């Protein structure tokens, strides 16, 4: 792919943790503008690590990272990436540290130099867009897990990023919370990269999927094509989503764009299969 077509591009990334074996061995991946990209892989395949490398929280041993048409090689470059890429941490409590929701959402804009009045305007706009206007004065630590996830997303959106990296956003959510999050992600648009163990959630939110295995991207394509390849999925320690295993005749050609009957009737039952997806730290 021409580098001008990609918002984020990783080429030949090698990475290992101190004293450990190689985690990435020549990993290459492009994120195009408008992508809703799912990143899947077994525990230890490096989904979270991939996000940390993109955000400049970890440095690869070798390889190239490009973002928005420029190489990322120094701390100013990494700061530039963090200004334009919003990151939703796997655990919301790592992202929320202010007493109230309003303060948490305003924290980023204030650090960008906005005035108190400007930051309040951003808070109102973001919370309203997420249908959370009545949460502004809520005490953050008293929120449910699903509510915290949405507020953490609000803090990322308040920075007006061009790209969102969402690390296991559906982990621990009940079916209602998952449906609400799915709806929100479809409404907000913009370029999204979603790491998840929940294949039904990936199928509902992503139009493209990559599979990480053996330190590299081993599959990359339309969501239903990749997730429906049972042989490839099983070889990578994964399983196709239940809806693709049992109802192939119900899968429309544009399912991964959020259309089609399987997003409504019968889809919620499949969500319970992946309800307790394990979290990944590496």
Q: What is the pTM of this model?
A: 0.80
Q: What is the DSSP track for 9-71? A: EEEEEEEE-TTS-EEEEEEEEEEETT-EEEEE--TTS-HHHHHHHHTTSS--SEEEEEETTEE
Token output for 230:
């049972």
Cβ neighbours for 30, distance < 8 A, ≥ 6 positions apart: 1, 5, 6, 8, 9, 10
Quickly name the fold that domain 3-271 has.
Rossmann fold (3.40.50)
Along the 282 residues of the chain, how does pLDDT read in single tens digits?
455 578 999 999 999 998 888 899 999 999 999 999 999 999 999 999 999 999 999 999 999 999 999 999 999 999 999 989 999 888 877 778 889 999 999 998 888 889 999 999 999 999 988 888 899 999 988 888 888 888 988 999 888 899 999 999 888 778 887 888 888 888 888 899 999 999 999 999 999 999 999 999 999 999 999 999 999 999 999 999 989 886 544 444 444 444 333 333 333 433 333 333 334 444
Q: Residue 1's Cα: distance from chain center in Å?
A: 22
Q: Say if strands 85-88 and 163-167 run parallel, antiparallel, or are unpaired.
A: parallel
Nearest to 15 by CA among 42, 43, 70, 52: 52
Residues forming a β-bridge with 134: none
């Amino acid at each position: 792919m021409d580098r001008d077509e990609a918002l984020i591009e990783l080429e030949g990334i090698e990475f290992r943790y101190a004293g450990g074996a190689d985690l990435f061995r020549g990993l290459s991946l492009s994120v195009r503008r408008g992508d809703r990209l799912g990143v899947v892989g077994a525990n230890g395949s490096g989904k979270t690590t991939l996000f940390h490398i993109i955000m400049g929280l970890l440095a690869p041993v070798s390889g190239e990272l490009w973002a928005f048409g420029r190489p990322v090689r120094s701390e100013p470059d990494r700061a530039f990436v963090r200004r334009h890429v919003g990151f939703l941490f796997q655990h919301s409590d790592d992202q929320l540290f202010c007493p109230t929701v309003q303060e948490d959402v305003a924290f980023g804009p204030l650090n960008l130099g906005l005035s108190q009045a400007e930051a309040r305007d951003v808070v109102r706009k973001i919370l309203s867009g997420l249908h959370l206007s009545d949460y502004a004065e809520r005490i953050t630590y008293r929120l449910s897990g699903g509510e915290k996830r949405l507020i953490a997303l609000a803090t990322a959106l308040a920075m007006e990023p061009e790209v969102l990296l969402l690390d296991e956003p559906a982990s621990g959510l009940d079916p209602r919370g998952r449906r609400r999050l799915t709806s929100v992600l479809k409404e907000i648009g913009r370029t999204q990269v979603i790491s998840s163990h929940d294949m039904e959630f990936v199928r509902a939110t992503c139009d493209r999927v990559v599979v990480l295995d053996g330190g590299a991207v081993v599959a990359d394509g339309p969501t239903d094509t990749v997730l429906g390849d049972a042989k490839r999925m099983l070889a990578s320690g994964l399983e196709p989503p239940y809806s693709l295993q049992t109802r192939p005749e119900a899968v429309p050609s544009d399912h991964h764009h959020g259309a089609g009957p399987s997003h409504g009737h019968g889809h919620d039952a499949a969500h319970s299969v992946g309800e307790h997806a394990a979290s990944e730290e590496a």
